Amino acid sequence: MKAYQVEEPGKPLVCNEVETPNPQGKEVLVKTISCGVCHSDVHIHEGAFNLGGGNKLELPLERPYTLGHEVFGEVIACGDDASVEIGSKFVVYPWIGCGECELCKKGDEHLCNLAQNIGVQMPGGFGDHILVPDQKYLHEAGDIEPHLAGSYACSGLTAYSALKKGLPYSSDNKAIILGVGGVGMMGLQIAKSAFNVNPIVIDVDDEKLEIALNNGASKAFNSTKEESLMEILEHTEGGAMTLIDFVGSELSVGFGTNLLAKGGKYIIVGLYGGELKMPLPLIPIMERTIQGSYVGSPGDMEELMELVRANKIDPIPVEKRSASEAYQTLLDLKDGKIIGRAALMHD
Ligand SMILES: [Zn+2]
Ligand SMILES: [Zn+2]
C-alpha cells in the first residue's frame, strides 16, 4: 500500500510504499476512498501544539507517521472475530481508547489517556488503506457522497459535541459561532438541523462570512472591523448565552469573551493555540463558564450519523483533491485558503 507520511515534522510529506496490514481478531482492513484534511492535521504534521509564551506541547509520535482521521472507505478484509460484509462502505470513528479505563467505560473513549487514534498514533487516511481495531468504529453513511462523508468523523463530530455543550439555545441572536472554517461551517449546518438555531457567525474573512450567510447564519460580523464589537453587543442585546470558538487563539478568545452575556458559556474548540488572559473577577461576577470541547464520544458519533443518514444536515463545501496533493493541502489549510473542507481522494 501507499502512504503519504511525515518523516520529519513540518517537512514535505514523503510517498512511501509500506506493507498492507493483515487484519487479525476483531480488526478490519479498510481501503481509503477519501480522507478529509483537518486543521489539527496541520498541528500533528508540525509535531506540536502552541501553548503560548514560547512553549510547545510536543507530540510523541514515532516516525514516520501517517496523518488523516476523516476516513471514508471500503472494507476489504476482516480478522476472524469480525463480521463485516466485504465491499461495504463506512465512515471510521478514529478516536480509539483503551476500552478499560474509567473514561472509556463511561463512554468517553475520545478522552482516554492511552488513546491510539487513527491518523495520529495509528496510521491514518493519508494512506490508501487503514486498519480499524474493531468493527464497532464503522458507521454507515447512507447516500452521503464519499468526499463529504469522512468529514463527519472529525469536523462534524467536533461541531456536534461542542454544540451539545452549549445547550439550551433560546434564540438566534444569543448563539455565536466564531470562526467559519471547515469545523465552524459544519457547526452552522448542525446548529440549524440538530439544535434548531441559526447562529450569528464571526470571522476575519468576508468571503467565508458570505458563504455562512448563504448557508443560514442569521447575521455575520467581521471581527477585524472596529465597529463590530459594539454592533454584536447591540445585536445580541448585551451578549450571547453560548459562544463556540472554533479558532481557539489568543485573538479570538480576547475578542470573543467580550461578547458573552451574564451566565453565558464560552466553549473553546479550536486548537490554534496561545494562552488564556482574562480579568479573573469577570468570571465570577458574570457567572461565565469556560469549557473545552474535544472531538466527540462514540455516543455523539452515533447520534450525529443518525442525522447524517436521514439527510438532515446540509452539506458543507468540500473540495476534492488527489491524495498526491496532501502536503500542498496542509499548506493551503494553514494559510486559510480552503473554503469548507478539502478531501484527499485515493485512486
Ligand atoms: Zn480533525
Ligand atoms: Zn481508556
Q: Please, what are the averages of pLDDT over each run of 10 residues along the chain (347 residues)?
A: 97 98 98 96 92 87 97 98 97 97 97 97 98 98 94 96 97 97 93 96 96 96 97 98 97 96 97 90 95 97 96 92 98 90 95
pLDDT recorded at residue 14: 98
Which ligand neighbours the alpha carbon of 100 most closely? 2
What's the CA-to-centroid distance between 265 and ligand 2, angstroms? 28
Residue extent(s) of CATH 3.40.50.720 domains in the chain: 157-292
Which ligand neighbours the alpha carbon of 44 most closely? 1
What's the CA-to-centroid distance between 8 and ligand 2, angstroms? 29
d(CA 185, CA 190): 9
Which ligand neighbours the alpha carbon of 99 most closely? 2
pLDDT recorded at residue 336: 86
What is 2-154+296-345's CATH number? 3.90.180.10
What's the CA-to-centroid distance between 248 and ligand 1, angstroms? 14
Q: Does domain 157-292 have CATH number 3.40.50.720?
A: yes
State which amino acid sits at residue 179: G
What's the CA-to-centroid distance between 117 and ligand 2, angstroms? 12
What's the CA-to-centroid distance between 295 and ligand 1, angstroms? 7
Which ligand neighbours the alpha carbon of 105 most closely? 2
Residue extent(s) of CATH 3.90.180.10 domains in the chain: 2-154+296-345
d(CA 116, CA 3): 18
pLDDT recorded at residue 95: 97
pLDDT recorded at residue 49: 85
What's the CA-to-centroid distance between 231 and ligand 1, angstroms? 32
What's the CA-to-centroid distance between 324 and ligand 1, angstroms? 19
Which ligand neighbours the alpha carbon of 155 most closely? 1
Positive or negative torsion for Cα 38, 42, 47, 53: negative
What's the CA-to-centroid distance between 121 and ligand 2, angstroms? 14
pLDDT recorded at residue 43: 92
pLDDT recorded at residue 53: 84
What's the CA-to-centroid distance between 132 and ligand 1, angstroms? 17
* Closest to 34 in 3D by CA, of 131, 151, 119: 151
User: H helices of the chain, where?
Assistant: 39-46, 102-105, 146-149, 155-165, 182-195, 206-214, 228-235, 250-256, 282-285, 298-309, 326-334
Bridge partners of residue 90, in order along the sequence: 73
Which ligand neighbours the alpha carbon of 159 most closely? 1
What's the CA-to-centroid distance between 296 and ligand 2, angstroms? 14
What's the CA-to-centroid distance between 187 and ligand 1, angstroms? 13
3-class state of residue 216 by DSSP: coil
Rounded to the nearest angstrom, the gap between the alpha carbon of residue 256 and the centroid of all alpha carbons in its chain is 20
Strands (E) across the chain are located at: 2-5, 14-17, 28-37, 48-52, 55-58, 70-78, 89-92, 129-132, 138-139, 175-178, 200-203, 219-222, 240-245, 260-268, 289-292, 318-322, 341-345
pLDDT recorded at residue 288: 95
What's the CA-to-centroid distance between 246 and ligand 1, angstroms? 12
- pTM for this model (two decimals): 0.93
pLDDT recorded at residue 317: 87
